[in-house]
Structure 1
Amino acid sequence: MSRMQARDIKTAEEARRIVEERGLSHVKVGMFDIDGVMLGKYMQRDKFFSALEDGFAFCDVVLGWDSKDELYDNVKFTGWHTGYPDAPLKIVPDSCRELPCEGDMLLFLAEFAGPAGELCPRGLLKRILERGRGMGFEAFGSLEYEFFMFQETPESVREKGFRNLKPLTPDMMGYSMLRSSVHSELYRELLALAESMDFPIEGLHTETGPGVIEAAIGVDSALAAGDKGALFKVFTKVWAQRRGLMATFMAKWSPDYPGQSGHIHLSLREIDSGKSAFFDPEKPYQMSDVQRHFVAGQQKLMPEFLAMFAPTINSYTRLIPGFWAPTDATWGVENRTTALRVIPGSDKSQRVEYRLGSADANPYLALAAAIGAGLYGIEHRLEPDEQVKGNAYELDHPEHQALPRTLWEAAQRLKASEAARTLFGDAFVEHFAATREWEERQFRRHITDWELDRYFEII
């Protein structure tokens, strides 16, 4: 009998068999929190087998702290007032991955269940996709990420105070064959890692900026696309640090260079016919009525859902004119200055690119928001505004297309959004908005270098 492969695992029984076949004493189990940070642990084999059937418990503090392990003081779900009890999680057998840096070790994803499941990013995406299936559609997506690489370590960047960092390569050399050839070993290693961990990269190249790389992950069903995007970010950083390098997915690490995007390509297919729900050869740009309504929903709800695409203080430093990031809820056909780019094609390739998101967004939440808004547009038969032709940065746009300019404002728009509460549930909206308010409050406690330079002596 041939050796079982991780990507072939579909059921709990098959998960049990592959662990036994490899003689593993432990496996790795991980989940993603609100910020898209992966958390988890090694789990002893018998405990894992039990969890396959009955789930397991994990302290719910991971839903009650921020990306620096600081405890929220403004959320209802958990806190000192609840005593931080355990929350139930369930193993996802078909998420099984190889961990090539750890020999035969296997990784399984888990997701929260019960009341905690209402806040679980992966669970939220699943609920949105189920809504789409109820409408007769299956969603497909792919994620593109830009990230900067540095000749630094976690220790060195802290010793330098995150200043004067040394990029992997110098100068602005987008799509450079020179750079990718000189560092071909690194590129090949990353491509091989992506293949072995089942988030295959269909395109990898340098972008404009010192040490910046863009990776386009292959298309898949939307839930699988979320898994692939989330794992890509984590294990790209793991791969880099194991080689004495660092990768960052900050939205913008330097005011001198473009920010880092997290673009999302989306399409719907009809469940009954298997055909593209977006492609209609008889319509302008091959946009079906369904795609037109989908784009309209995304456009209308973009200002209300922005916090799910731009979830950090740093996200908003990227959303400025002229740096390849949208500044209003606009759409156009093959127009990279707009927030939504309709890409005409065939039954196979007709899609829309959601260009607003930054690389720091939680892939599950960004997908849930982008797809949920589109489904809302279909349900309500919304019509998009007039498409933008030309440079969107140079045009005046209607006031309703304006995007929030700060994380605090974005959190308030999300809290007040009836559409968000309909799609995502009150529990998630209240919790996520509170976590973004917390993030803004944490920022306000600090004095920036800019303030010291500007005010210390002269004022």
Structure 2
Amino acid sequence: MEAREVRDIDDAIRLVELRGLSHVKVGIADIDGVMRGKYLSKEKFIGALRGGFGFCNVVLGWDLNDQLYDNVQYTGWHTAYPDAMVRILPHTCRDLPMEQVNGQSMLFFLCEFVESAAAICPRNLFQRVLQKADDMGFSALAALEYEFFMFRETPQSVRDKHYQNLTPWTPGYFGYSVLRSSVESDYYHQLLKLCEDMDMSIEGLHTETGPGVLEAALAVDEAGAAADKAFLFKTFAKVLAQRNQLMATFMAKWSHQFPGQSGHIHLSLKDSQTRLPVFHDPDQPHNMSKVQRHFMAGVQQLLPELMAMYGQTVNSYSRLVPGYWAPLNATWGLENRTTALRLIPGSAKSQRIEVRIGSADANPYIALAAALGAGLYGIEWQMEPEPMVEGNAYTQTFPDRLKLPNTLWEAAQRLKQSEAAHALFGAEFVQHYAATREWEEREFRRHVTDWELKRYFEII
């Protein structure tokens, strides 16, 4: 029996027994999309499969640096940080080929928070959006693609260097380079094989524009599975890099000298009953069906309100500057890579929308919830998109209603005030998530940047 054949609790127990494993690894997403987890003994794991297990709710109440949020209601010192109930998801079973125990791969399972914590759990949030799609008669397909910079550094060396003067994996600008991928083929093939072994296949992998930057396009799948695969990819691509004495970063923008790093989302819908695509209509311009048009309109019109769910860090907004392949307004265009939304016409199978606003640092569950939820909202309310943009969107002027927030703080305020966000995601999630983004902005404002020192120290 193989890991990807596991479908239910009995399958999971059987595979653990067959491999003679004494422990199993589990992981769960925090608010920022960081994987948190632990090893469970076989006995604990089997019991947890059947009845769940407690996981300290601080995972939903601290930031990237394990600092406690001071402005959230669900968790905090006032709650004394009790355990929250978690369920293990048998069908997410994966081999961890880099962890061998007695000649067998360690097994890994994803989890999600349930009961009271479900309202703010990122994975559970997206499951609720998927349920809304099902209630409306749709199932969603998704594929995510990530840009990430690679360095010849270690976690210790970047700290010793104070994150300055880092050595890129490869030098110079050389997008789509066969030279680079051939010289460094050992790592490329390790990554491709790891993703095959862990059931998160890469459809395309190539160098991007910038020193040491790669782009990986994950294969399309049912949206729930695609979200899990994106979450797994971001963690285990970094694991593999570090095991090769390299480092990968998914920061939105690590240097002002180079382009930012995107996390683009491709989406389409099928009819739940017939399983046929619903975005394609050959009798309409660009093959865009009425359903796709309303979906596009929903994503477009809610982009300014939901921006905090696509750009979740202060750094995310450093990427959104003219001329660096990142959109500045809630626009759409036909095969247009200067707009926030790119309509990709094609066959019934390939007709889709690409949401280009998201950065690589975004939590894939939250970003997908925003994109799919907004599209469903557009269908529900029969929204119509703004006029299609032709040519370079960076050089054009658009109505204020299409302007995107410029900072994380502004994005958090827009999210808090969004009636659509409350309707789609629930007041508990909106309040908790917006408060965590406010915390992130306030933490940034407590510090002095190198830019400020260089600009003001002597001359001001």
TM value normalised by structure 2? 0.99
- Residue 102 (str. 1) matches residue 134 (str. 2): no
For structure 1, the residue ranges without an aligned partner over 5 or more in a row are none
Give matches, 1:312-327, under 5 Å: 312-327=313-328
Give matches, 1:128-147, under 5 Å: 128-147=129-148
- SS of residue matched to 1:302: helix
- SS of residue matched to 1:437: helix
Displacement of 1:325 in angstroms is 0.3
**How far, CA to CA, are the matches of 1:61 and 1:196 in structure 2?**
32
Residue in 2 aligned with 1:69?
66
Displacement of 1:431 in angstroms is 0.2
- SS of residue matched to 1:42: strand
Displacement of 1:455 in angstroms is 1.3
- SS of residue matched to 1:267: strand
Displacement of 1:272 in angstroms is 1.6
Residue in 2 aligned with 1:124?
125
Residue in 2 aligned with 1:381?
382
Residue in 1 aligned with 2:28?
31
Letter of the structure 1 residue corresponding to residue 55 of structure 2: F
Residue in 1 aligned with 2:166?
165
Residue in 2 aligned with 1:8?
5
Residue in 2 aligned with 1:202?
203
- SS of residue matched to 2:79: coil
**How far, CA to CA, are the matches of 1:232 and 1:46 in structure 2?**
28
Letter of the structure 2 residue corresponding to residue 449 of structure 1: D
Residue 46 (structure 1) aligned to one of 43, 65, 89:
43
Per-residue CA deviation, residues 283-331 of structure 1 (Å, 9 max, x unaligned), is 1100000000000000000000000000000000000110000000000
**How far, CA to CA, are the matches of 1:273 and 1:84 in structure 2?**
47
**How far, CA to CA, are the matches of 1:329 and 1:65 in structure 2?**
31
Displacement of 1:244 in angstroms is 0.4
**How far, CA to CA, are the matches of 1:423 and 1:296 in structure 2?**
16
Displacement of 1:454 in angstroms is 1.3
Residue in 2 aligned with 1:305?
306
- Alignment RMSD: 0.5
**How far, CA to CA, are the matches of 1:12 and 1:246 in structure 2?**
36
**How far, CA to CA, are the matches of 1:272 and 1:281 in structure 2?**
21
- Residue 192 (str. 1) matches residue 176 (str. 2): no
Per-residue CA deviation, residues 54-88 of structure 1 (Å, 9 max, x unaligned), is 00001101111000000010000011101000000
Per-residue CA deviation, residues 138-162 of structure 1 (Å, 9 max, x unaligned), is 0010000000000000000000000
Displacement of 1:274 in angstroms is 1.4
Residue in 2 aligned with 1:220?
221
- Residue 409 (str. 1) matches residue 406 (str. 2): no
**How far, CA to CA, are the matches of 1:282 and 1:452 in structure 2?**
59
**How far, CA to CA, are the matches of 1:341 and 1:449 in structure 2?**
36
**How far, CA to CA, are the matches of 1:15 and 1:346 in structure 2?**
39
- Residue 20 (str. 1) matches residue 4 (str. 2): no
Letter of the structure 1 residue corresponding to residue 27 of structure 2: G
- Residue 272 (str. 1) matches residue 269 (str. 2): no
Equivalent residues, number = 456
**How far, CA to CA, are the matches of 2:457 and 2:55 in structure 1?**
47
Per-residue CA deviation, residues 99-152 of structure 1 (Å, 9 max, x unaligned), is 000022000011000110111111000000000001000001000000000000
**How far, CA to CA, are the matches of 2:415 and 2:116 in structure 1?**
21
- SS of residue matched to 2:265: strand
Residue in 1 aligned with 2:434?
433
Displacement of 1:273 in angstroms is 1.6
Residue 92 (structure 1) aligned to one of 89, 92, 112:
89
**How far, CA to CA, are the matches of 1:393 and 1:287 in structure 2?**
25
TM value normalised by structure 1? 0.99
Residue in 2 aligned with 1:82?
79
**How far, CA to CA, are the matches of 1:365 and 1:140 in structure 2?**
16
**How far, CA to CA, are the matches of 1:154 and 1:13 in structure 2?**
40
- Residue 454 (str. 1) matches residue 455 (str. 2): yes
**How far, CA to CA, are the matches of 2:334 and 2:373 in structure 1?**
21
**How far, CA to CA, are the matches of 2:458 and 2:261 in structure 1?**
34
- SS of residue matched to 1:65: coil
- Residue 292 (str. 1) matches residue 305 (str. 2): no
- Residue 233 (str. 1) matches residue 234 (str. 2): yes
- SS of residue matched to 2:149: strand
**How far, CA to CA, are the matches of 1:431 and 1:376 in structure 2?**
22
**How far, CA to CA, are the matches of 1:133 and 1:65 in structure 2?**
33
Residue in 2 aligned with 1:368?
369
Per-residue CA deviation, residues 2-24 of structure 1 (Å, 9 max, x unaligned), is xx111111001000000000000
Percentage of pairs with the same residue: 64
Displacement of 1:427 in angstroms is 0.3
Displacement of 1:453 in angstroms is 1.2
Displacement of 1:197 in angstroms is 0.5
**How far, CA to CA, are the matches of 1:115 and 1:433 in structure 2?**
18
**How far, CA to CA, are the matches of 2:165 and 2:280 in structure 1?**
49
Letter of the structure 2 residue corresponding to residue 392 of structure 1: A
Residue in 2 aligned with 1:359?
360
**How far, CA to CA, are the matches of 1:97 and 1:356 in structure 2?**
30
Residue in 2 aligned with 1:244?
245
**How far, CA to CA, are the matches of 1:434 and 1:195 in structure 2?**
38
**How far, CA to CA, are the matches of 1:371 and 1:303 in structure 2?**
15
Residue 52 (structure 2) aligned to one of 38, 50, 55:
55
Letter of the structure 2 residue corresponding to residue 222 of structure 1: A
**How far, CA to CA, are the matches of 2:87 and 2:244 in structure 1?**
33
**How far, CA to CA, are the matches of 1:95 and 1:343 in structure 2?**
30
Displacement of 1:419 in angstroms is 0.2
- After TM superposition, where is structure 1 displaced by more than 2 Å over at least 4 residues in a row? none
**How far, CA to CA, are the matches of 1:334 and 1:358 in structure 2?**
19
Displacement of 1:363 in angstroms is 0.4
- Residue 256 (str. 1) matches residue 253 (str. 2): no
